Structure 1
């Protein structure tokens, strides 16, 4: 049995805990938030990740929770009249893709954790000391513990990556877009995504019925911008950036959606950025998911990368025994092609979502109408 610490209780962290815990390892997941973080639009399980969730024993449950929001998307003009929709061929790899509400997938993973895996909320890693025989960890809570391995599955702004591999700026590649998501209460309607553009900006409403909470709706925002220097835990600063980005724009429901963003105590705001690293491991520390190879939401493949990465790592740790370096190297060799393919897909998504001029918006609409017709 290997004693493993996983930082982050998102999809990558929970998948690591499930895959490693069911193999008999002693796994602790430490999560900065005080609850599972589930805010987000529906996500996709694609390609070989479908086979992975089958091996995890979750495929039947995930298929039961499947939604089809991507089939119900439309762009609207300032008056709310439809002007174009996104063909499924542009957002899906195949008809086998499974679209699922993020909350449902997160809870499915958490509910399946074995007794050998536990989650500790409201704490985070402050310092790591890898002496070659183990890793001593200091936590924000003041406690200290020693582990055989530490896995960073703590997202784009990974603390484990910063502590073990250096500052974020050394690995981050900004794609020129920011995203925000806010709860939209009392927004009734059928499942689907309604989107509206002004130059360099997009707002939308996503309505979906997850397995756990019915009638959920989100306000969605994306906008073009060069890199902005802000504290990703400073909510007031994030709200100001968002409101300023849409200042002066009042078409469709932009003011109403901005009000929802101002009122949301758990607004999600972040850049569309990628993480590029020559290696995802150092000593007894390794990275999984967005922490090591974020492809950005524009790729639509972050969830699948988290699932395949966690599974490959767990398999290789089993195969290599106590040779952790060999296990990490084999994990990287298997996962790297998936990461490269996903990271190369982002630019088409950016041009579809946030054209920079009215002329580019009209051209995008015309292209989508032609593609839908054919």
Structure 2
């Protein structure tokens, strides 16, 4: 079977591994000119760990493990620690693996079958499901036909829009925006990950190995902007944090201004009744984004890629039955992940000063009870 995967993120690369292992002729197209590796470390949890083992990538993942979340602490305007974040507050089971995004991308990329074709700087422009195959026109003007198209192109999936309709029909905004920016080298080396809050806002520094990132969150209703317009994103972000010069806020905002690859997006989920239509199936955030607040997006990418491949192996001549099996097996994981996202925003970005003070007091009390002899 000739398979086209749109998107070389965690879902797309995972599907490249699992679908290639079935003997399919797999092509992956990625709109960017390189692997998408910017962002903070991500978690692999629960059953996704066992599936990663069956995919042959677990040892590679373990070699690149970091422990970033365990060092998170909340600070005041002078940088003094006011509370620390216990691992169980972010759903860490103790078996979870945290890995830098770039390391996981390279582990997945290295595990692709040599026959798999990965094309950068290319994306789907149009597609037409003719019933017995899918005719695809690419942005480059090239045309081709495939037996199956997998849309693994993220929350703002073009594949989803072309086949299922506009994003607004499926997106649920959770009331937050998030940004990540690279910080200069002088921020490296501190073992902690401090976070400063004021009502409705969070700004902090995340460190792992020799990397330092500025992390920014703020509460807001839906903002209508072009998510391809970097300067518009920077204006929104700088306006949201204007008027604050405490702690290291000015330096982080300077990094925002200078960052050519700033990550900025809404904290939202994708909810769809079905993830397939004809010979097109959606995977990962394109199908069911749970948002970063769930901490389970990468795990969903791994389980989804595995369940899709297993369904196709079980029903090699019946794509409709395979698609239904894939959805039936994946949906319980998605529902759990999406449900866990809600409390995360209140923990990280309390809406009021009263809620902020209450959170800090609760975390301090938890830390006190966990000390030896208490």
* TM-score band, normalised by shorter chain: over 0.9
Which of these residues, 242, 265, 275, is aligned with residue 247 of structure 1? Answer: 242
Q: CA deviation at 1:352?
A: 0.7
2:336 is matched with 341
Matched, 1:290 2:290: no
Residues in 1 aligned to 2:274 and 2:191: alpha-carbon distance in whole angstroms: 41
Cα deviation for residue 69 of structure 1 reads: 1.0
**Given that residues 47 and 93 in structure 1 are in contact (C-alpha distance below 8 angstroms), is that contact kept between their aligned partners in structure 2?**
no
Question: Are 1:366 and 2:361 counterparts?
Answer: yes
> Quick check: 1:302 aligned with 2:297?
yes
Greater Cα shift, 350-359 or 7-16: 350-359
| 1:37-56 equivalences in 2 (<5 Å) | 37-56=36-55
Gaps of 5+ in 2: 370-374
Deviation at residue 191 of structure 1 after TM alignment: 4.1
For 2:206, the equivalent position in structure 1 comes to 206
**Which structure 1 residue ranges, 5 or more long, are not aligned?**
210-214
Deviations along 1:57-93, whole A, 9 cap, x unmatched? 1111211211111111101100000011111111134
The alignment status of 1:12 with 2:7, answered yes or no, reads no
Map of 2:106 onto structure 1: 107
Whether 1:220 aligns to 2:220 is no
Kindly state the Cα deviation for residue 199 of structure 1 after the two structures are TM-superposed. 1.1
Distance (whole Å) between structure 2 residues aligned to residue 24 and residue 321 of structure 1:
12
Q: TM-score, normalised by structure 2?
A: 0.97
SS of match in other structure, 1:344? helix
Residue in structure 1 matched with residue 325 of structure 2 by the alignment? 330
Secondary structure of 1:352's counterpart equals helix
| Number of residue pairs the alignment of both structures matches | 368
Aligned partner of 1:171 in structure 2 is 170
Residue in 2 that maps onto 1:212: none
State the distance in 1 between where 2:314 and 2:230 align.
44
- Please state if 1:70 is matched with 2:69: yes
Kept in 2: contact 1:24–1:116 (CA 8 A):
no
Pairing 1:232–2:231 present: no
Three-state SS of the structure 1 residue aligned to 2:118 is strand
Residue 319, structure 1, aligned to residue 318, structure 2: no
CA contact (8 A) 1:25 1:116 kept: no
Tell me if the contact between 1:232 and 1:238 (Cα under 8 Å) persists in the aligned partners: yes
Aligned position for 2:159: 160
| Alignment partner, residue 372 of structure 2 | none
The answer to whether residue 265 in structure 2 is matched with residue 270 in structure 1 is: yes
Offset, 1:196: 0.6
Q: Deviation string for 1:43-65 (max 9, x for gaps)? A: 11000000011001111121121
CA distance in structure 1 between the partners assigned to 2:71 and 2:42 by the alignment: 14
CA contact (8 A) 1:191 1:206 kept: no
Q: Matches of 1:30 and 1:80 in 2, distance apart?
A: 44
Contact 1:75 1:196 in 2 (8 A): yes
> C-alpha displacement at 1:251, in angstroms?
1.6
Distance 1:90 1:118 in 2: 41
Q: Distance in 2 between matches of 1:8 and 1:372?
A: 42
Matched residue SS, 1:39: coil
Query: Secondary structure at the residue paired with 1:269?
Result: strand
